[in-house]
């Protein structure tokens, strides 16, 4: 026992939990002067909520509401510390010294936090834009070079709860076959069996009506997909041709200090996203005198034209062109385009000429020029 105590004493010792403290520290003394929560507190207190159109709820009866500034401080803290869950933010209010200081020991429940985020989505977005303007004021935004990209965030909706017209047709066809079987069995059944079969028929009929309603919605809206659990999510390719029901988050980052200046949650792929993000960047930077970098997923003619018409210098990666030439030396990528003469030159240095016909991919009938 003596040897164990000697060995234990070689390590740094903590304080006795039952020890009384003569001069207890305040929360303000515990939180360091350069802690980020002090910046959050100063920033939120400096803004006028009316300018951002926050929903301010007041009541003279019952329990008073939480002030929107307090909830905004909690939301910003969660954003900076990768805490998205309302329930998790509620827990942090009870156990996190930084959050206790920031919230003055207020503990809003998760429903209050979630409702604040839901009711003030646009206002919170405006606050984000305002932080960009502050960064510009302190010369933290260069405004000469930006880069755009996206990330896929998996939705709560599973693949089985995501429907396309073709998938709906398959479900309806399956139900119709089952209904035919049940109706045939019903004509031959009696007593208890008849009641059970009628119950199955009612269940399948209800499911069919649900699929017909989804089909009608897709036809009227022009959408190609519908998700039942997370309505705005869509099935899209995430990586290596693997698909997930997800959201696609478009972001733009300024190159000077790698500060994000814009983001947008979408449910579409990258091919049609660049034009819209360039317009938003133009508004944020209040200029078109900048260069925008995008990868090959954004290489779409109409989107590139949008950027050029706005006067923005674009650098968009060119996607590889699929080619199955018998000799790999003659793949499409090895041909050189002469922009001056509008000609292509083959790997042997010969100029390609046309016979005046257009050919379809299936090598079918040609279209005369």
Over the stretch 280-316, which tens digit does the pLDDT of each residue have? 999 999 999 999 999 999 999 999 999 999 999 999 9
Average pLDDT, the chain: 88
Q: Would you place residue 158 in the very low, low, confident or very high pLDDT band (cuts 50, 70, 90)?
A: confident
Which comes out higher in pLDDT, residue 330 or 114?
A: 114
Long-range CB contacts (< 8 A, 24+ apart) of 103-110? Answer: 103/70, 103/73, 103/74, 104/70, 105/27, 106/66, 106/70, 108/66, 108/70, 108/71, 108/74, 110/85, 110/86
> Residue 240: left (phi > 0), alpha (psi -120 to 50), or beta?
left
Once rounded to an integer, what is the mean pLDDT over residues 327-348? 85
- Say what the pLDDT of residue 328 is: 79
Name the band, by pLDDT with cuts 50, 70 and 90, for residue 362.
low
Q: Which H/E stretch holds residue 251?
A: strand 242-254
> What value, to the nearest 5°, has the Cα angle with vertex 340 and ends 334 and 346?
25
Q: How confident is the model at residue 333 (pLDDT cuts 50, 70, 90)?
A: confident
Residue 337 in tokens: 């385009």
- In tens, the pLDDT along 80-110 reads 999 989 999 999 999 999 999 999 999 999 9
Say if residues 238 and 153 touch (Cβ distance below 8 Å): no
- pTM summary value: 0.71
- Specify the residue for token string 């696609």: 248
Burial of residue 282, with CB atoms counted within 10 A of its CB: 0-12 exposed, 13-18 middle, 19 or more buried: middle
Q: Do 228 and 261 touch, CB atoms closer than 8 A? A: no
């Amino acid at each position: 026992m003596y040897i164990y105590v000697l060995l234990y004493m070689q390590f740094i010792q903590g304080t006795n939990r039952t020890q009384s403290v003569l001069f207890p520290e305040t929360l303000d003394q515990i939180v360091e002067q350069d802690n980020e929560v002090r910046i959050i507190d100063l920033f939120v207190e400096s803004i006028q909520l009316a300018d951002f159109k926050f929903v301010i709820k007041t009541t003279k009866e019952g329990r008073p509401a939480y002030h929107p500034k307090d909830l905004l401080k909690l939301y910003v803290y969660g954003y900076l510390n990768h805490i998205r869950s309302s329930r998790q933010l509620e827990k942090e209010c009870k156990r996190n010294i930084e959050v206790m200081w920031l919230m003055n020991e207020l503990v809003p429940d998760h429903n209050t936090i979630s409702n604040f985020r839901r009711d003030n989505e646009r206002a919170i977005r405006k606050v984000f834009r305002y932080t960009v303007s502050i960064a510009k004021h302190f010369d933290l935004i260069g405004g000469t070079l930006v880069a755009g990209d996206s990330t896929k965030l998996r939705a709560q909706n599973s693949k089985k709860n995501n429907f396309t017209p073709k998938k709906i047709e398959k479900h309806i066809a399956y139900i119709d076959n089952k209904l035919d079987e049940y109706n045939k069995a019903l004509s031959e059944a009696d007593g208890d069996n008849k009641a059970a079969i009628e119950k199955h028929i009612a269940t399948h009929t209800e499911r069919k009506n649900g699929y017909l309603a989804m089909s009608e919605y897709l036809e009227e809206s022009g959408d190609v997909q519908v998700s039942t659990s997370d309505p705005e999510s869509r099935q899209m390719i995430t990586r290596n041709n693997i698909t997930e029901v997800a959201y696609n988050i478009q972001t733009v980052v300024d190159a000077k200090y790698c500060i994000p200046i814009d983001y947008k949650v979408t449910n579409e792929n990258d091919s049609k996203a660049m034009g819209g993000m360039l317009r938003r960047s133009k508004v944020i930077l209040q200029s078109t005198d900048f260069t925008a970098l995008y990868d090959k997923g954004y290489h779409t003619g109409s989107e590139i034209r949008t950027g050029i018409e706005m006067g923005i210098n674009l650098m968009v990666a060119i996607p590889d062109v699929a080619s199955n030439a018998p000799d790999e030396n003659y793949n499409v990528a090895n041909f050189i385009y002469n922009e001056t003469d509008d000609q292509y030159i083959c790997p042997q240095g010969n100029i390609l000429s046309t016979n005046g016909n257009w050919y379809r991919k299936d090598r079918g009938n040609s279209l005369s020029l």
